[in-house]
Structure 1
């Protein structure tokens, strides 16, 4: 199929429809507004329904209802909006309902600004809601990968009966790149949704979907069941790209937009005879710990590069298991790291190489 030049946010909407999304519930917030705009125009043409809710809180609870009925459903927002959805997200995770959530993140804390940022890492990987729950979190670095991951997110959500989060940022949402939409083919063996509240049709007792367990023994049993599922996700879904690792003296760890900038720094340093590698996270959770076993003997230290104040450092230190020093370079508030600044930091780490 021919590639089509699209804005990131619109490509997300097109990918969702291509994956069989039938319901979208959302609320406007910059810089993701083109997603609901696109879905309002295009989803009804595909036989689906778009609703602009009265708030982010209302939107995520509508997602709960549609997911409970067995439909493929999505919502999207940007950082403060995702924060408002956290109570609904933990309810959805507790009730084991599949849905896709897209966060086109912006600078914070609070209302912050509308420029791109990656300061929602902790919110994404630790969960902003109550209780012991996890989301499968994809982190695409370009629009084609965004399209592919959004489509896969619906599949993974159905397979694991769990909400899936796709994390971008204002740059990915607003940039334009050529993308290809292939006919969506499921790679997983999906079961019929016999648990859904779609009517008994006189053949069974009514299904009940809930996250409330008043018997503590039953709630503990449910938590143990959820943890078993999360272990399976961790075993099967962790993903990373390994780039230029073979002779690397320093290895950068980055994801999303920042990883693209890091690759530019790596190429410029290579021209100066300095070998630098990259571990690019494609899933934020599960964190791809196995990728760090591929570090070469030439590697002297790690550099975490983020558009935040360093939220990913702890996970990198755990993955490295204290074998190597881990340093940080980041920008915040919507400021974007520049290749020259990353290169300068690496030279400093190597003892002021000129």
Structure 2
């Protein structure tokens, strides 16, 4: 067993990024993720990295674009309103086929909303992270240890597929403390032959660009990118399932909500209700195959810290093969295990 550290989620994710090879961080403070930037400000100078607090979220994401174009492992973090400001730059990064990691420690909205935890940015993360046709890889950890474990993968897959990775956390994961274990090194970076590193008259110059004035050229570029997305959907969708072998019902949730759900599912099992848990770990690509057995279930309950966003992906995956119900809290409130247990009983016709 390796050495464990008791750390706040925001600080653990920053340390995990450093150990995954991140050497350029550009950010701007916003609650509840400010500790990410504060930690990077202390650590980066000590390891020969670069920390820069930009004048705005817009500036920060465009600095990420520049560092990524030069082949650096680079990251930014923010919380919901800040991510909205970054979406133009994220679209440029997607359109330029550049890898980076972006962290969203979600808070309540819309607007300034509140600083309490929320999951109401799911649609933004999976549907509209920037204008145009495009995607980012979206990871949805449910513990601080899982944030640490996923950080290296987020950087590696971003570079493999030349696209951004988004860590979709929330205010509770960012602010809570848990024991975590770090890998000695989680950096598997490879040579980036496409990067703007100077050709020294030894190769043709590389070009990083998202502007295509010829519509046929732009269409073909997007079609090629979506072929890559198809491969990602086949290979990289990840989920955890629990008690699904004999399940008559299922509950699905991601992130911090899944921890509440796990307690409720275990309590329901103790009452004799055959219910299982499906927890997406990637929400893009969405793990549709986990719902392939939906026709054998009498119902699926989706639990979220929102008015219902992932539930639409669940219904698409189920495609009418069994009923899909929803329970959610919003505004920064978190459903209790008892609330979820009551909804499970109701789904099973016992309440």
Query: Is the shorter-chain TM-score for this pair beyond 0.5, marking a shared fold?
Result: yes
CA displacement at 1:294 relative to structure 2? 4.3
SS at match of 1:97: coil
TM-fit CA distance, 1:127: 2.1
- Per the TM alignment, residue 207 of structure 1 is displaced from its structure 2 partner at its CA by 1.7
In structure 2, the residue corresponding to 1:278 is in which secondary structure?
strand
Normalised to the residue count of structure 2, the TM-score between the two structures is: 0.97
Q: Could you tell which deviates more after superposition, 238-247 or 12-21?
A: 238-247
CA distance in 1, matches of 2:99, 2:54: 20
Unaligned runs of 5+ in 1: none
Give the whole-Å Cα distance in 2 for the aligned partners of 1:200 and 1:153: 28
1:224 aligns with 2:223: yes
Larger deviation, residues 256-265 vs 246-255 = 246-255
Deviation of 1:351 after TM superposition, in Å, equals 1.9
> Which of the numbers 295, 305, 321 marks the counterpart of 2:319?
321
- List 4+ stretches of structure 1 deviating above 4 A: none
Q: Corresponding residue for 1:86? A: 87
Distance 1:132 1:162 in 2: 13
Separation in 2, partners of 1:141, 1:317: 22
**In 1: Cα distance, 2:242 partner to 2:321 partner:** 20
Aligned pairs for 1:4-83 within 5 A: 4-83=5-84
Residue 131 of structure 2 is aligned to residue 133 of structure 1:
no
Matched, 1:273 2:272: yes
Partners of 1:24 and 1:125 lie apart in 2 by: 23
Query: Which residue of the partner structure matches residue 341 of structure 2?
Result: 343
Give yes or no for contact 2:303–2:327 (8 Å, CA) kept in 1: yes
- Distance in 1 of aligned mates of 2:160 and 2:184: 19
Aligned equivalent of 2:287: 288
Matched-pair contact (CA < 8 Å) for 1:247–1:296:
no
Asked whether the 8 Å contact 1:248–1:296 carries over to 2, the reply is no
Report the secondary structure of 1:118's partner residue.
coil
RMSD: 1.3
User: What CA distance in whole angstroms lies between the structure 2 residues aligned with 1:296 and 1:48?
Assistant: 52
Distance 1:202 1:181 in 2: 42
Whole-Å separation in 1 of the counterparts to 2:263 and 2:224: 44
Number of equivalent positions:
350
Report the TM-score when normalising by structure 1. 0.96
Structure 2 Cα separation of the partners of residues 124 and 167 of structure 1: 8
- Report how far residue 186 of structure 1 moved: 5.6
Query: 1:168 is matched with which residue?
Result: 169
CA distance in structure 2 between the partners assigned to 1:74 and 1:268 by the alignment: 40
| Matching of residues 115-126 of structure 1 within 5 Å | 115-126=116-127
State the distance in 2 between where 1:165 and 1:307 align.
18
Unaligned regions of 5+ residues in structure 2, if any? none
SS of 1:178 mapped into structure 2: strand
- Tell me whether 128-137 or 115-124 shows the greater mean CA deviation: 128-137
| Residue aligned with 2:292, SS | helix
SS in structure 2 opposite 1:224? helix
Q: CA deviation at 1:150?
A: 1.2
Q: Relative to structure 2, which stretch is displaced further, 110-119 or 269-278? A: 269-278
